[in-house]
Amino acid sequence: MFYFIKNSEFFSRTFNSLTDKNFRYLWIGMILIMASVNIQMLARGYLSWELTHSPIMVTIAGAGFAPPILLFSIFGGAIVDRVERKKVLQYGQFGLLIIAMTIAISIKTETITIYHLIWSSIFQGVIWAFLMPARQAIVTQIVSKSQVNNAIALNASGMSLTTLAAPGFGGLIYGFYGPEIVYYFISFFAFISIIFTSFIPKLPLLSPVKENVIHEMKNGINYVLSNNVVMWLLVIALTTTLLAWPFRNLLPVQIDEVFSRGPEALGLLMSMIGLGSLFGSLFVAGIRYGNSKGMILLLTSLITSVAIILNAISTEYWISVLLMVFLGIGDAGRRTLNTSLLMERTEEKFRGRVMGIYMMNFGLMPLGAIPLGFIAENYSVKIAFLIPGILLLIFTLLIITLTKSIRNLK
């Protein structure tokens, strides 16, 4: 397979990083751990509903990961910059394995409660505050500078693939065998991920002199504020996430109130986002080194905003299905390029801290959903979709107009 990758022009460009065996170990481990996370999200949500039949408790259990990410991601990034990143990966994945096994045992012993699920979500958020900055920052220690964009894009395509396939697999296992078996599968995927990551050789420490962590966190923030390109890339990442992601929480409302359809229709809609994300991340993986990545980043943001606006005014289900593909393409392209540009423009010794700030994206998602839920309840779901879509469009046009440094990024 890898001989074919090396000797085909398309595959050599799009899958170039996979020719590096250490990146292959990292990539396979990432797919396995993300499969376990995606299955766990489905299982946690459905099990929460079975235990409580309370939408509020289901929401709390599902969003429990967000506060720890907001609180600890910068701290986690500082830790990543002062210890061996491979160790952070291994400890984090082992922590996820322990969480899954704890829930599985609780189900088997019939002691499971909603509070087990809430606490597991919170602990998972704490782990992700360390694990994700390490997983992103370690890429630059494994691949060459010319491969960074490709490697980040392949990571994103793997995540998109698991988002597309893992929940369906988890749902089938849950339906036929119940939640206990699902959590055993989650644990198994985490365990195999640990094995693959262990094949990565020991990597050198970047910062042998360990200063006070708080001081290093301040240095990281000062670095971002003094680096115009990095600062704007983070502003774009945080703002677009706040505007582009939360509306997905209201897709069930649109399915019911606008299209008068059921959960199967919602599943297809969500799968189309995953399909579009896969296309978008593979497109970014194929971008040649030195191309105008800044403008492509901004164009993908425009695609996302237009897709949200058109979906807001859509009254036809199949039109929205098509729009979700474009939404996924725009989202994946924007997130992948944003991450790779950040990695390329950040000094090695600050990468963990910068990625820690970037990780705040995931903590902002639930916060952005709260005002949209209020708007949908008091006005309509169409208006709740239309407002963030228009705001994202305006924001993107302003960035295109005012930030030459971003437009000219290669």
Count the domains in the chain: 1
Q: Distance (Å, rounded) from C-alpha 327 to C-alpha 311?
A: 10
- Which domain, by its residues, includes 215? 2-407
**Alpha-carbon 231 to chain mean position:** 20
Q: Find the CATH number of the domain harbouring 224.
A: 1.20.1250.20
Of 286, 22, 331, 31, give the one whose Cα is nearest residue 150.
Answer: 286
Q: What dihedral do alpha carbons 34, 339, 242, 361 form, nearest 10°? A: 60
Q: Supply the DSSP string of 318-335, one letter for each residue.
A: HHHHHHHHHHHHHHHHHH
pLDDT, residue 4, reads 44
Of 339, 344, 366, give the one whose Cα is nearest residue 355.
Answer: 339
Count CB neighbours of 214 within 10 A. Answer: 10
Q: Distance (Å, rounded) from C-alpha 125 to C-alpha 67?
A: 8
Element (H, E) at 53: none
Q: Cα Rg for the chain, rounded, in angstroms?
A: 21
285 and 151 in contact (C-beta within 8 Å)? no
The three-class DSSP label of residue 346 is coil
The residue whose two tokens read 């599968």 is: 185
* pTM strictly above 0.85: no
Q: What is the pLDDT along the chain (410 residues), one digit of tens a residue?
A: 444 445 555 556 677 778 888 889 999 998 999 889 888 877 887 788 788 877 667 767 877 888 888 888 888 877 877 788 888 899 999 999 999 999 999 999 999 999 999 999 999 989 988 888 888 778 878 887 777 777 877 877 777 677 767 776 777 787 788 889 999 999 999 999 999 999 988 877 765 555 677 777 777 788 888 888 888 888 888 888 888 877 776 777 777 788 887 666 766 777 788 788 778 877 777 776 656 777 888 888 899 999 999 999 988 889 998 999 999 888 888 887 887 788 778 887 777 778 777 877 777 766 666 677 778 778 888 888 899 899 999 998 998 888 777 777 77
